[in-house]
Structure formats: C-alpha cells, structure tokens
Structure 1
Amino acid sequence: MRMEHAWVVAIALSAATFANASAHDDFRSRADKHAPAFLMGDHVHKPGEWMVEYKYMNMYMDDNRIGTQTVSDADAIAYGATSNPVTNRMATPQQMTHEMHMLHIMRGMTENVTFYTMIMLPSITMDHLRGPGAGPMEGTTFTTHNSGFGDTTLGALMRLYTDENDDWILNLSGSIPTGDIFRATSIPTGSPTAMPYPMRLGSGTFNARPGVTCKHYWDFGSFGTQFQTDLPIGRNYRDYSVSDEFRLNQWYSHLITDNFSASIRVENLWRTNFDGADPMTTDMGISTNVESFRGGYWLNLGIGASLLHNGHLLSTEIVPTLYQDLNGIQLETDWSMVASWSKAF
C-alpha cells in the first residue's frame, strides 16, 4: 500500500471512530438519557462523576378489592365475616396515601461501574371504618399516620455491553433495614396497638434487589426494558418477611426536541404473600394484618415527560393502574405519580 493511501485509510478510520463516539455521547446527553421517572438503575456515570437526585412519589389507594372486583365498605366487612381467616371485625381500611421523599446519590467509579445509594422518607396515612367488633363505635371512622426513615438501598450498576445505540446494565443492589417496623398507635382502641403491615416503614430484613436493564437509542427516541426484583433474606425480628416482588417494565421515550421528551411505560408487577407472622397481628380484626392478603398482580401504565435544561433533568410521570388481581381482600391502587430533579457534576 502506498504511503498516501495508508494515511487516507488511517484518517478515515479515526474519523469514523470519532463519529461513533460522538454519536454515543450525543444519544446519552438528551432528555431521554434516563428511564421514565419511576425507574432507577438504568444508567452509569463517567469515572469521578457524581449525580444527585431528589424524587417525590405519591401512591393513592381507595376502596377494597376482592380478586379483580371492587367492593363497598359494607361488602368488605361482610366478606371478612366468612373469609379465611375471618377478618375486618374491628375495622376495614377505606383509603391510603403513601408518600415518599427520596435522595438518590450516584458516583461513577470506572467507565462501566457506578455506585449508588437511596435514602427514603415515607409518610403513610390510612382511613378506616369501624366494624361490628367495635361495639357502640361501629360505623365511625378513624385515621392513622406513620412517617420516618425507610429502608436504605446500596448498590452497584455494571454496564455489561455498550455500543453506539445500546446499553446493557446489571443492577447489583440490596437494602438494609433502617425503617421502623414496630411502631404503635393508640388511635383505634385507646390503648397502644401495633401498626398494620402496610403502614410500617420498612421490611425489617436485608433484601437482595438484583435487576437488569436494556436500552436502545435512535435519533428520534429510545426504548428500554427493565426487570427488577426485591427479595427479603430470611425473616425479621418480628418473625415475618414481606413480599417477594418482581417488576417487568418496558417503555418508549420520544424526543420532541433534544431537551424535551415524552414517554409511555407498561409495568407488570407481581408480589407474593408475606411469609411468617408478627405475633402481635394474630388477632385478624382488620384485613391489613392478614399475611395471606398481601400478594397479587398489578398492571400499570406510565405517562411521563422529561425536560433537560443547563444540565438539570426534570422528570414527571402519572401512573394509573389498569388492572389488578389481589389475594384475599386488599385496598386497590388507583394511581401513582412521581416528580424528580437530578444533576450530574
């Protein structure tokens, strides 16, 4: 090969490599660079780069559901009289609001490994209707509330494969039991009573949370799939473990401009029933204390948007529940929402 031809080939290869690298960086510097607001564990950072994120989440639950059927408060109490186990004699839950404030911190360690932590502050409020076991108080309502630190997540994201258009990321994470699981309230009976399971702030166990995310970028948008789990390890000091959880998400984000995108997401969520039982919940006066009434299947739809401005990423998502099939009788989930801000530096 003549020398001038070799130089031409070398320059062409260098230009192609630079173009691919530039395209790679360009795809990951747009408004759709992260998954929709509800999801995490989908991207890595450059070595030495930090990211700080604040998320606010709210889940609203109203009315009880038996399997796939919504029932009235009166029907929920009547069902409890013949269910296995018998429940809702003292009260039935009516609605619940579960708010969450979350601080998410990430740091890139290498090109393909990023460490992260998530600190949770849940706030839970539940309304109830007293049942026939409440005697003269039957038919009256009461509200309980609980808030404080939840469980803390620590993890590492490992990019298994990357090219101009694709990222495959393994999430190796777990939670530590920093959330209080045994707080009492005197509101329903006048004497201290343990909070029911849905109102506790944590799991009480160390949980494994492995997951994997695959993302593909086009000039006009991106598509992603994520499988994420939450698996309690053993039982907590109250002698139970919360549900095993499995989430399968798929989404498409469409660029309106490079700095603004809209997304649609479909989530399949499966939860098992609790394992074991807290000795303080053996009186099944309310369905939220029944371990076999904690599992089910939920199908959720996420509609979201993201705005990138001067390195600040603002994202939001509204998530109505399209379908749910619940074990026993439980409060049904009507909708959730999330808003987040993040900045890498």
Structure 2
Amino acid sequence: MKLIKLCPLLCVYFTMSFNAFGQSPPVDLADLSLGDLLNAKIIRSQSNQITQDNFNKDPLNRPKAHLVSDRLHVSLSYIDVKFDTYKDGTKDLSTSDVLWSGPGSLEARTDENFPVVPTIIYQQAVQFTASYDISERYSIHASIPYIRQETEHISSVPGFSDFTIVSQGIGDIEIGASWFVPLNSSNSMLFNLGLSLPTGSIDEKGRTPRDANRDTQLPYTMQLGSGTYDLRPSITYTGKSGLWRYGANLNLTLRTGKNSRNYSLGNVYQADIWTRYERCDWIQPSFRVNAIVWDRISGQDDEITTAGPYPYPAAVTNPDYFGGTKFITQFGLRLKDPKGLLKNTFLELEAGLPIYQRLNGPQPSENWRMSASFVLNF
C-alpha cells in the first residue's frame, strides 16, 4: 500500500529529472535548510499524531502536557559545491578544449572556444531559517542566505593569464507558509508556498580582461540574486515502515518576468527521493537521489558581451549554455541526542557526487557537494 502511494511521486520524479542543470547561479543553492526544517515538522507532527491517538485510546495514562508540540524551529545550514572541467552533452572537455589560444595563434575562434575560461569554481551558501507553527496544520517561515563564490580563470588575454574573482553577500530572502496534512499515523504530506524576494545583488563587479583598469559587470554565475520575485511551491511526502523512514520531494522555482538587467534566470525544478534507517536513536544513516531541472536564461545582460561576431568572452556569459541533465547521489548521517539537553536538535551531514550529467555546453560540470544542517526546535 505504501508503495502504491509512492508511485505518483516517483513518476513525477523520473519524468522531470531529464532536464537538470550543470552550473547554476549560486542563488539557487539557498534552498537547503528549508527542506530539513519542513521534514522535521512532518516527523514531529507524526509523533504528535501517534501521541494523540494513544491519548484518545487511554486518556488516563497519558498526560495532556505531552500533546503540546514545539512551535518555533530554527536551522543553520551550509552547502559547498565544486565545479571543475567542462561537458558538452555527455562529452568531457578539458579547459584547453574550451580556451581559445588567441589572435596570434593558428586556432580559429568559434562559438565553442573562448578567450576567458573559468577553471575551478567553489560555491558556498550559509542559510538561516526560522519557522513558526500557527497550529498543528499551518506554519510560516523565513530564510536568509549568505552566498559566496570563488572562481579561478585562465585567459589568452595578455596580463590576465590566470586570475581569481570572488563575489559574496546576502542572497534572495524567502518568506512562505506551509500546510501539513496527516494521511495516517505513518504517512503525511506537506504543501509549501514560498516567495523569494530580490534582495540579492545582480550588480556584482570585478576586475576582468574586459578592462584592466576598472571593475566591470560579472557573469550570471557570480551574481548573488535572481533580480526577480520568484514563486517557490513544494510538496513533501514522508512515510515510515518499521525502522525505515522514507520520502519524496518536489520543489519548483518559478521566475516572474525579467529583472532590471533584462534577463530572467531559468525556472528550477527539483525532485528527490530519500530513505533513512532509524535503528539507533542518536545516529541514523540516509541515502538520497536528487535531480534538478533548470531552464536556459531568457534575455541577456549586454554588459557582459563584446562587439564583433563572437560576443561571448566566456561560456558562462552565453545564456544558451545553461541547462542540461544531472542526477546526484548523496549519503548522509543524522546525529541526535534523544534524551539530553539537545533532544529537540539534530545535525544533518550529507556528501554527494553527480552520477550523470548531460549539459548544454560547453558548460562547467559539478565534481562534488557536501552540506551540513543544524536544526533546533523550541
């Protein structure tokens, strides 16, 4: 019966997974802690439902105070992603395959080689999220991300053979509300609607080969926000059977129009399925398969293009070189203190690798990712 309930979600997952992305702007990393927070609410609400059932069956042996759940939940999350080498479709490319040797060489300039090539890219996001339960069914939440990206480059432009650029700051703040629906004591759904506010900068500048004497506009992948109001609906299913807890999530990021720089980041569709083994109260291993769908950028920031037949100085400045397919497997550990002072707290650790990438390239490809989330319920 539980497998039957999972089938529709699994179908959605595998249907939507075949368009995921390579390197996304770091603003899309700031979607981490909310999932852990909502998942924690489901688990807590399921426990409350069991308690309520037991109370109804035997009210004399169950103190009423145990029916009161924690209302305030906060989390602090960190994610780190590394990109290295390139892909065009499923074909691996080296940075020398993407780098144009320059006007003094015999190599012809094409749409697939560039005078500037990002080589190693690190994206990090730290996110603080707070959620408050208005009732057992309804909650409101807000999250504030701090984002950092460091990108190493090589170039055929004199004076810029190799250089590094860093952008960092507050990203797009999200506010939202969720609705919890218990199906029974072991299965439940959570519906969430978030609104991402354009608080992250889309005017980040740095010293590039475009101008050696002043900072100029950086490409899409180094901006801290989308510049648009974005809708973020999600659906989460969680079930439990014996010592196994499992679930599936579908999360969307839907852009609304173009920003002040005349472009719109692509819509993002994320789906994952996961399972956790709860044999031990204080340490619980987990496994997750994640897929992300990301559309191409619509429009263009003309400040990052150049004149001539080849207007894109780097692959990350071409709106068409966004989009593709990615599956990621992640292994995790949840650490808890079930009886001590931190009994309402857990630490979630995960590390993952892409197992399949098909990118609209040439495009930077992901090497690995790792994350940590600390969740506390009051």
- TM-score bracket for this pair, using the shorter chain length: 0.7 to 0.9
How many angstroms does 1:289 deviate by?
Answer: 0.7
How many angstroms does 1:119 deviate by?
Answer: 0.4
The counterpart of 1:300, out of the listed 306, 310, 328, is 328
Change (3 A) 1:38 1:251: farther
Change (3 A) 1:306 1:208: same
The counterpart of 1:61, out of the listed 47, 60, 83, is 83
How many angstroms does 1:64 deviate by?
Answer: 1.5
Work out whether 1:210 is the aligned partner of 2:257: no
Question: In the alignment, what sits opposite 1:88?
Answer: 114
Give the Cα–Cα distance (whole angstroms) in 1 for the partners of residues 134 and 271 of structure 2. 28
Q: Select the structure of larger CA radius of gyration.
A: 1
Work out whether 1:126 is the aligned partner of 2:151: yes
Change (3 A) 1:166 1:80: farther
Q: Pairwise mapping of residues 13-32 of structure 1 onto structure 2 (< 5 A)? A: none
How many angstroms does 1:213 deviate by?
Answer: 0.7
Change (3 A) 1:47 1:87: farther
Q: Which amino acid aligns with 1:70?
A: D
Change (3 A) 1:229 1:170: same
Give the Cα–Cα distance (whole angstroms) in 1 for the partners of residues 69 and 263 of structure 2. 41
- SS of 1:81's equivalent? coil
Give the Cα–Cα distance (whole angstroms) in 2 for the partners of residues 278 and 225 of structure 1. 36
Give the Cα–Cα distance (whole angstroms) in 2 for the partners of residues 148 and 259 of structure 1. 35
Question: In the alignment, what sits opposite 1:176?
Answer: 197
Q: Which runs of 5+ in 1 are unaligned?
A: 1-35
Q: Which amino acid aligns with 2:325?
A: Y
Q: CA RMSD in A?
A: 2.0
How many angstroms does 1:117 deviate by?
Answer: 1.0
- SS of 1:249's equivalent? strand
Give the TM-score normalised by structure 1. 0.83
Number of aligned pairs? 303
- SS of 1:288's equivalent? helix
Deviation per residue, 1:32-72 (Å, 9 max, x gap): xxxx9794443537776101111011011111211112211
Is the CA contact (8 Å cut-off) linking 1:38 and 1:338 kept in structure 2?
Answer: no
Change (3 A) 1:262 1:47: closer
Is the CA contact (8 Å cut-off) linking 1:281 and 1:289 kept in structure 2?
Answer: yes
Question: In the alignment, what sits opposite 2:39?
Answer: 42
Task: Give identity over the alignment, percent.
Answer: 24
Q: Which amino acid aligns with 1:266?
A: V
Give the TM-score normalised by structure 2. 0.76
Q: Which amino acid aligns with 1:171?
A: N
Question: In the alignment, what sits opposite 2:261?
Answer: 238
Q: Which runs of 5+ in 2 are unaligned?
A: 1-31, 46-67, 101-106, 307-311, 338-342
